[in-house]
Structure 1
């Protein structure tokens, strides 16, 4: 393949258009036949009648999509296979999310997860958390739109600007018309496309090199198979400690308290089915993660003698997988188009789900309370349904603008995990303060949240940052890999440029610990501040609603009251319970 040459023929465009039409047609079908979205419950919660399998696939597809395909493969190519250890953390923390956090949300049965915070603390905490979530998801969707733009640029020669606009506008259209039921069903179809894209890379590499063993041997010679980094130093980018602890906190911030996932849990009929869907999500997620990680080694087996980034064939490591597809399988009609469709449609599912959730948060947490306080009456269901779609449209356009800034955040995988850590860790701590302690109050918890987010932002975006410890690459064999590639010799480093620069310790900490530090600072400061405030005011922690706490604490509280903790009984008496218990000293 010549540098800058792109193989994206007519059949590739045909396949791409067909796949996108299938995705769009599923959305349109459920828009007009799946209950016709007459109510907000139909539009945002799929009328609570979804089956387990599509929900499980959707839980995986919501936050993996194109970022997994591009980011995880380039991560393993550039830094080695150590990243696969993060899958262990998913298994460790799945029961924590399923049996501690999820029952609380399921008993609440609220469209917005942040309604819990108002019930537990007050309106200010609900508003602060929902605003933080809005910021988090807007930034994340910018990265999600930017990732497929990289793929389209590498495969088709389309500029990033044109690619972001084309992907973003389609995503905005789809997410505006599609309800939650359409999103869940298309997630299954689009997940299969993601697996097909990854497996095509692995299968071709095995055929090309003769066996899995040969791919592994090439990776081993390139020092990319080390899995035994147990260094507890938090400045170590990836080790068992950072991947399990940091990855676990990131997992909880996404699968335990994130509005996008909580909204999915509530699309099934009961708590047991929601927990089953979450457990089923783990092997699906792990299978995609492991196969995508191995695809990074498969790509390295092709370019071990000539790194495409160093040779200036591509501009970013995140373009390695698209380059490999076009370089090795570009002469097969339609295959490049299928690969791009997998990335494209995966981003569609992620953005449509996120925009749907952002619309729910905006309607429930901002618009309805504001409208009622100004006009003294509630909005009609028809008005809410129309305005929620307009809000979804506005969020789609906003995320389109953010996508143009995503290139300044570094690699797509690290950028997405950094965003989740900075906001997700402190938000997880806020919910944990509410569910795991009876001491926490609103003022103390909000003070902790402010400190936690500020500290995590300082860690993540403070400067200067040390360079990433990428493994060595070479361009010595470029003549046998690419044609018409001229490798420019690297400039000789002088003594001044080779001197070790000193960095502030906090800026050297692994990006995976952003969420951990944010969670700890929010929780500790919030708890201590609440304790002090309670002591000063002489506030008692009695008369708290047991249904707002994790089961062990709830059982202890309900033993002091004549109130059943049974979920079925709760559903029949929720309104009575809501008015009976004290929240922040007010009835």
Structure 2
């Protein structure tokens, strides 16, 4: 792979971005409360405003994976992936008005404390361990993606890039806590947009406008919007993108610790819901602009695909390769692009580090401390261990990034990781928030079976390779087309008989199936286990269980109805106007 033209101006821009990110961490370490309490360190004193939280919600998961993965997606498969934005619109009210009010009432540092109050500590521990595994795997991919960018542009090895990025991110996350992470997310979000629009603008200049880019995409079959096949083995259709996108979105923005922790950092429920709604256009703008950037890159390489010509090892390197080919004549622009890629990764890793440190402290350290020492860990003594935990997770992220290259395309790999864990996690929270008859044993059974099933179909194999759109090498000056490239060029991907049917499913169904298995087994298992244990007295047990329900643990619309029914059974003339207070913001602690 050729070494790129990364000059002094580019290096200065990149160094400035990394230094500014580190300084933000130092600023919040030595200002305000100086991160002396876990409330400030992990929850930003619940004093943040809507604006930074909205950008942070986007940057937490749609970072380098989106910048490189989605552009490669439209380059290889067309624009159909943009349909997933419909699922975001449909899912936002569910997250904002079903799940978020429940967590806001509790105002706990770990979202998994809800599961302990609803079902028991066993459920809380199982869910938090699954989340920890999910985020650790995801951090490795998020750090690996920009390392590819730096290697393609400057020739610096992936190892060096991983170490520099990982150490900077670990530094400001550990020093500045959630406040520093949220503010750097805003700063880094603008750099992400700058990187994407730099690609589009430079391509438009070379093409003579945006219309030629669109026309070339149409001529080569990249404009795809109307795939309505009911076949679940088709990689992307409207049904897979909307249904799979909704479950994936809710697993991230509805019940994921990383996002809920940010939503609880604002001062009231209304502001938190506003942050979730404002995240929608921010996320949509990045999604559509990144899809178009893939078309812009395709316009430039329409007659000479870099992978087939042997200039790159993976199409995840397309965007940085385009940058080095087209932006070198503009001083500092290539550095700005790489800074955007780096910033995208930094925002994701820092978000993961803060959420993992919160879960580790609340779900592992404090319960263990109470068992060993017989007392609760004091607030004044928990901040330092939390910072040490954050530092350890940052270093672990660096180690895992070195092995992330074996997971395939970064976009599909990241969505697979979120799908196989996120579906079952969404399932147990849905059972808790929306059902009365579920219990810990049934929910745990459903969760474990959902996880096993999701991991089986998500990481089992062999799986058939996806069918790519055609590419060309007719315009290549150097015909370095290997046998593998010829096979890709012919684009012959056959559904061989030995592929197990479940392995042929679209990766977007992994999350949905894990969710459905957890819901079905969890609900039915709860009823069956209750009847088995209480035999003929099962109805008496259920009636007794309902009388002791904490209605604040249910979705607002359901908790109001169930509480009204319970009170009417006790007193038919009962009318409690205070039920309307359930939808009001909780008072800050």
Give the TM-score normalised by structure 1. 0.93
Is residue 449 of structure 1 aligned with residue 443 of structure 2?
Answer: no
Q: What pairs up with 1:218-233 in 2 under 5 angstroms?
A: 218-233=216-231
**Superposed displacement of residue 192, structure 1:** 0.3
Cα distance in 1, alignment partners of residues 583 and 433 from structure 2? 20
Query: What corresponds to 1:501 in structure 2?
Result: 496
How far apart in 1 are the matches of 2:481 and 2:522?
55
CA-CA distance at 1:331 after TM superposition: 2.4
Q: Residues of 2 paired with 1:379 and 1:469: CA distance?
A: 55
- Most deviating of 178-187 and 516-525: 178-187
Q: Does the aligned pair in 2 maintain the 1:171–1:396 contact within 8 Å?
A: yes
Contact 1:31–1:177 (Cα < 8 Å) also in 2: yes
Distance 1:408 1:491, change over 3 A: closer
The residue aligned with 1:136 is 134
After TM superposition, the structure 1 = structure 2 runs for residues 408-447 of structure 1, keeping only pairs within 5 Å, are 408-447=406-445
Alpha-carbon shift at residue 355 of structure 1 (Å): 0.5
Map 1:89-238 onto structure 2 (within 5 A).
Answer: 89-238=87-236
The match for 2:346 is 348
Q: Which residue of 2 aligns with 1:292?
A: 290
Is the alpha carbon distance of 1:9 and 1:523 closer, same or farther for their aligned partners in structure 2, counting shifts above 3 Å? same
Indicate if the aligned counterparts of 1:60 and 1:284 stay in contact, CA closer than 8 A.
yes
Q: CA separation in 1, counterparts of 2:495 and 2:86?
A: 35
* Structure 1 CA distance for aligned equivalents of residues 278 and 5 of structure 2: 38
> In the aligned structure 2, how far is the partner of 1:492 from the partner of 1:20?
41
Match of 1:544 in 2: 549
Query: Alpha carbons of 1:41 and 1:305: their partners in 2 closer, same or farther (altered >3 Å)?
Result: same
Shift of residue 475 of structure 1? 1.0
1:554 to 556, 559, 563: 559
**Structure-2 separation of matches of 1:347 and 1:491:** 30
Instruction: Note closer, same or farther for the CA distance 1:498–1:148 as it changes in structure 2 (3 Å cut).
Output: closer
Report the CA distance between 1:178 and its aligned residue: 2.1
2-structure distance, mates of 1:501, 1:190: 45
Report the Cα offset of residue 573 of structure 1: 13
Tell me the CA shift for residue 466 of structure 1. 0.3
In the comparison of the two structures, how many residue pairs are matched?
A: 565
Distance 1:34 1:343, change over 3 A: farther
> Is the alpha carbon distance of 1:490 and 1:359 closer, same or farther for their aligned partners in structure 2, counting shifts above 3 Å?
closer
Shift in CA distance, 492/4, structure 1 to aligned 2, threshold 3 Å: closer
241, 244, 247: which is aligned to 1:246? 244
Summarize the alignment of residues 19-98 of structure 1 with structure 2, pairs less than 5 Å apart.
Answer: 19-98=17-96
Instruction: State the partner residue of 2:335.
Output: 337
Mapped to 1, the partners of 2:340 and 2:203 lie a distance apart of: 19
CA shift for structure 1 position 567: 4.5
8 Å Cα contact 1:86-1:243 kept in structure 2: yes
Q: Could you tell me which residue of structure 1 aligns to residue 481 of structure 2?
A: 487
Give me the whole-angstrom Cα distance separating, in 2, the residues matched to 1:361 and 1:486.
50
Distance 1:491 1:97 in 2: 44
Give the secondary-structure state (helix, strand or coil) at the position aligned to 2:349: helix
TM-score by length of 2: 0.93
Partner-residue secondary structure (3-state), 2:57:
helix
Deviations 1:167-200 (A, max 9, x none): 2222222221121111111111100000000001
Aligned residue runs from structure 1 range 308-319, under 5 A: 308-319=306-317
Q: Which residue of 1 aligns with 2:570?
A: none
Q: Deviations over 1:222-270 (max 9, x none)?
A: 1110110011111010110000000111000000000001100111111
Does the CA contact (< 8 Å) of 1:145 and 1:400 recur in 2?
yes
Answer whether contact 1:7 1:331 (CA < 8 A) is retained: no
1:510 and 2:506 matched? yes
2-side partners of 1:128 and 1:48: how far apart?
A: 27
Partner of 1:477: 475
Q: CA deviation at 1:288?
A: 0.3
SS for the counterpart of 1:233 is coil
Q: Which runs of 5+ in 2 are unaligned?
A: 568-573
Cα distance, 1:552 vs structure 2 = 2.3
